[in-house]
Homo-oligomer: A and B are copies of this chain.
Amino acid sequence: MEAVLTAAVALLDEAGGSALTFRALAARLGTGVGTIYWYVANKDELLDRATDHAIGGILAAVEEQPDSDDPIADMRAMAVTLFDAIVDRPWLSAYFMRNTDIQGNSLRLYEKLGQQTLRLDLTPRQRFHAVSAVTGVVVGTAADLGVEIPQELLDGHVDRDEFLSRFAESWRSLDATDFPFVHQIADEFAGHDDRDQFLAALDLTLAGLRLQART
């Protein structure tokens, strides 16, 4: 079982979501597909267990972070850790939002995040919404990244800067009166850093939360 999960995670790490097939997994383990089906009922469960496995690592990292006296700063640190972990394992983003059944390590992570809100002067409902908002920002932003890598980039034919520049170029060529915003933004987009973008979004949400916690 353990071996199955680590092999599954390894496949996902090496070549993304499409690389994890029962046949490939069986080959890597030197067994047949039937064996894997003895451990998991179907691919959904395999994915659930593999992601839970990976999230376990994130959870450990989050739990190492000491609490400061600013709960919101602590939430921020956790969110950043989570984001970085997803960037590191882009396939996680795809399966992060596939889970209505919050259980296992996801639940623990959720709890950990939520505990910070207990130190804020909020109603239970506000706490619930705050944690949802923060995870929403993380997942929402990270989701874009997961896909933002057309094979051109992986192949090395085109690097990221050139890729972005091409977009910026096509945006600049649009009519300036119909697309004033896109026009103004093109330069920003060309040089943008995903992590900055995430931090900006996160900080907006947390600024709103800070405001709410004071009232």
Contacts and interface: CB of A to CB of B under 8 A. Distances in A.
Nearest to A117: B181
Interface residues of A, number: 62
A140 B148 contact: no
Contact of A100 (B97, B132, B141, B147): B147
Interface string A176-215: 0011111011011100100011001101111111011000
A6 to B, nearest CB: 26
A150 interface: yes
A144 to B, nearest CB: 6
B139 A98 contact: no
Chain copies in complex? 2
A207 B201 contact: no
A110 interface: yes
A182 B110 contact: yes
Contact of A148 (B100, B118, B179, B203): B100
Interface of A: 97-102, 107, 110-111, 113-115, 117-118, 124-133, 135-141, 143-144, 146-148, 150, 167, 178-182, 184-185, 187-189, 192, 196-197, 200-201, 203-209, 211-212
Contacts of A188: 124-125, 127-128
A204 B200 contact: no
B207 A206 contact: no
Contact of A200 (B100, B129, B137, B146): B129
